[in-house]
Chain A
């Protein structure tokens, strides 16, 4: 989905997907690339942080748990993204969605907190809304 930037130049929204589930990375990339998004994938916290340091992303879609049952690396990633790349919008997409985690995530400036599983058409609407250039 190429959109017009303020300068009138065509830009392709760039999304960073962070999840430790290979099937999910595969499916999201397969779904969003034909819709006109540029997709990068990361499976671990460090890998995602490195990408965030070097590439300017319009949107970060991240799971909260990146390794093991009790990990909360997603929260750390959100903090990092907010700090290093404040313009990047953030969507949490998680299977571990306690209300405490949701409250915590929202307090860290997350734009949307979504539960797995979820129809990709719904996710696409949210992604589209979040990657439209602001007024």
Chain B
């Protein structure tokens, strides 16, 4: 045992024992000093804390208090020490704090409670951290978190305002009916609005950060794409117009957003100006037509007399000499050319006819049947079948029957002439939107060339050999006189479709 060896040496050095005793006293003093210093430091630390520190007994009695900020105390310590929480604080809060004390004592873990309490009439927020500090007491450190709470709430409000603003921009962006694109300077899509998504048939996720080509090589995307480099380089807005395969006219604008160069944004907008163009064209036509109509009628009438002189002479000549085979070819050529001229004159007169209508209620089925029977010979001769589909229960429409039959007849003839032998032509009638009746004639031909869409109704424009180029011009005139609308398009499944929409009632159209 080590103590045995110590005993053996001790009697030989009595002065050494005293030395050790002194050292022990010095050490004890030092420890005491250190303890005192440590307690002072702790007290200083506790005093320096901005918090309120309470020692509270298990039964809720306040035992001690240290207040970094005395102004946060409801009462001076002398008035609440020795009292119970329930006697000092509002009942609800007192109950909560008492529960915290019991939990802290039961679990030994720190309990945290946030609460609001008015101090000197000013609402404040506090956080109480309660921890066991003895068998039957706790220390509760209470911190004023009013500022933090206020900041948190402000942050939340700001966040909400930003989210709301973003949503409002999103809604605004999507509510704009024209397709809009936001692109980076390399032409990659950053955003596109609802209208653009609908037009290209793609979702945001499918196109975002992709180059514009992902939208397809169709209008108005092609026109926008063509402007991007120029606008990115010059940062000056540029605009152009384009027509798509459905015959819609687009006005396209691209401009640069003035953000710093590396973040240059290009904003592209496409406006569907089909209606505006139609209106302009229609106005222009009605202005020129009243003058041209008079001229056309005059010319056509003047031509008809000599033309009849020729055809009648040919009839007389043929009646006399038809038995002479040598003349047969001459008659055939003359007859063909005279017929062509006669048709042209009839077409010109129809086209130039003043817009007076003989209005009467008519049934779509009757109009369709009359037109179809007028085209039956041409259809069978061309090997084309005419199908008719009339919607059930269609109301009567107020029209000039003869002229609408002519419209349907011209459209059917046109469709038959553009359909291959064995093909079919469909005539539909159905209720249109807003009190209107819609006729559609669809063929099984090659459809319209995209480049021709703007010219289809132009007088004398035709791609068919031997055609006068007046059929659709006349149709358009008559439809306009009825205040209707005519639209041409290529069907996705092939072939062309021409749609005529007529108002069911036509107030005052007689004076149109």
Residues of chain A having any CB pair with chain B under 8 Å: 21, 23-24, 26-28, 30-31, 34, 69, 95-96, 99, 115-121
Residues of A within 8 A of B313 (CB): 23, 26-27, 30
Known: A95-B301, A96-B301. A116 touches B308 (CB 8 A): yes
A23 to B305, CA, bound (A): 9
A24 to B307, CA, bound (A): 9
Beta-carbon contact of A120 and B304 below 8 Å:
no
Residues of chain B having any CB pair with chain A under 8 Å: 298, 301-302, 304-313, 315-317, 319-320, 338, 342, 345, 358
B377 to chain A, nearest CB (A): 17
Known: A24-B312, A69-B298, A95-B308. A117 touches B320 (CB 8 A): no
B299 to chain A, nearest CB (A): 11
B312 to chain A, nearest CB (A): 3
A113 to B342, CA, bound (A): 18
Residues of B within 8 A of A24 (CB): 305, 308-309, 312
Instruction: Considering the complex, give the chain A residue whose CB is closest to the CB of B307.
Output: A117
A10 to B32, CA, bound (A): 167
Select which of A23, A69, A115 is within 8 A of B309 by beta carbon: A23
* 27 pairs, CB–CB < 8 Å, chain A vs chain B: A21-B308, A21-B309, A23-B306, A26-B309, A27-B309, A27-B312, A28-B312, A30-B313, A31-B319, A34-B319, A34-B320, A69-B298, A69-B302, A96-B301, A99-B358, A116-B304, A116-B305, A116-B307, A117-B304, A117-B308, A117-B338, A118-B311, A119-B311, A119-B315, A120-B315, A120-B316, A120-B319
**B302, B309, B312, B320: which has the most chain A beta carbons within 10 Å?**
B312
A120 to B342, CA, bound (A): 14
Main secondary structure of the interface of A (DSSP, over half): helix
Beta-carbon contact of A31 and B309 below 8 Å:
no
Main secondary structure of the interface of B (DSSP, over half): helix
Residues of B within 8 A of A21 (CB): 305-306, 308-309
A22 to chain B, nearest CB (A): 8
Beta-carbon contact of B306 and A27 below 8 Å:
no
Residues of B within 8 A of A121 (CB): 315
Known: A21-B305, A95-B308. A117 touches B342 (CB 8 A): yes
A31 to B345, CA, bound (A): 24
Known: A117-B304, A119-B311. 19 other contacts (CB 8 A): A21-B305, A21-B309, A23-B309, A26-B313, A27-B312, A27-B315, A27-B316, A28-B316, A30-B313, A30-B317, A31-B312, A31-B315, A31-B316, A116-B304, A117-B307, A117-B312, A117-B345, A118-B311, A119-B315
Q: Enumerate the 4 nearest inter-chain pairs by beta-carbon distance, A residue then B residue, closest first.
A: A23-B309, A27-B312, A95-B304, A120-B315
A99 to B353, CA, bound (A): 10
Instruction: Considering the complex, give the chain B residue whose CB is closest to the CB of A99.
Output: B358
A115 to B342, CA, bound (A): 11
Residues of B within 8 A of A96 (CB): 301
A30 to B345, CA, bound (A): 25
A96 to B313, CA, bound (A): 20
Q: How many A-B residue pairs have CB under 8 A?
A: 65
Beta-carbon contact of A117 and B316 below 8 Å:
no
A117 to B317, CA, bound (A): 16
Instruction: Considering the complex, give the chain B residue whose CB is closest to the CB of A121.
Output: B315
A118 to chain B, nearest CB (A): 7
Residues of A within 8 A of B311 (CB): 117-120
A93 to B293, CA, bound (A): 23
A30 to B321, CA, bound (A): 12
B243 to chain A, nearest CB (A): 38
B102 to chain A, nearest CB (A): 106
A18 to chain B, nearest CB (A): 14
A95 to B311, CA, bound (A): 13
A120 to B320, CA, bound (A): 13
A96 to B316, CA, bound (A): 23
Instruction: Considering the complex, give the chain B residue whose CB is closest to the CB of A21.
Output: B305
A21 to B302, CA, bound (A): 11
A31 to B448, CA, bound (A): 46
A16 to B294, CA, bound (A): 32
Residues of B within 8 A of A119 (CB): 311, 315
Residues of A within 8 A of B298 (CB): 69
Residues of B within 8 A of A28 (CB): 312, 316
Instruction: Considering the complex, give the chain A residue whose CB is closest to the CB of B313.
Output: A27
Beta-carbon contact of B320 and A118 below 8 Å:
no
Known: A23-B310, A24-B312. A30 touches B305 (CB 8 A): no
Residues of A within 8 A of B306 (CB): 21, 23
A28 to B358, CA, bound (A): 34
A37 to B315, CA, bound (A): 16
A27 to chain B, nearest CB (A): 3
A95 to B342, CA, bound (A): 11
Beta-carbon contact of B320 and A30 below 8 Å:
yes
Residues of A within 8 A of B309 (CB): 21, 23-24, 26-27
Residues of B within 8 A of A118 (CB): 308, 311
B103 to chain A, nearest CB (A): 103
Instruction: Considering the complex, give the chain A residue whose CB is closest to the CB of B315.
Output: A120
B324 to chain A, nearest CB (A): 15
Instruction: Considering the complex, give the chain B residue whose CB is closest to the CB of A100.
Output: B356
Residues of A within 8 A of B308 (CB): 21, 24, 95, 116-118
A30 to B312, CA, bound (A): 9
B335 to chain A, nearest CB (A): 10
B358 to chain A, nearest CB (A): 8
Instruction: Considering the complex, give the chain B residue whose CB is closest to the CB of A23.
Output: B309
A120 to B304, CA, bound (A): 15
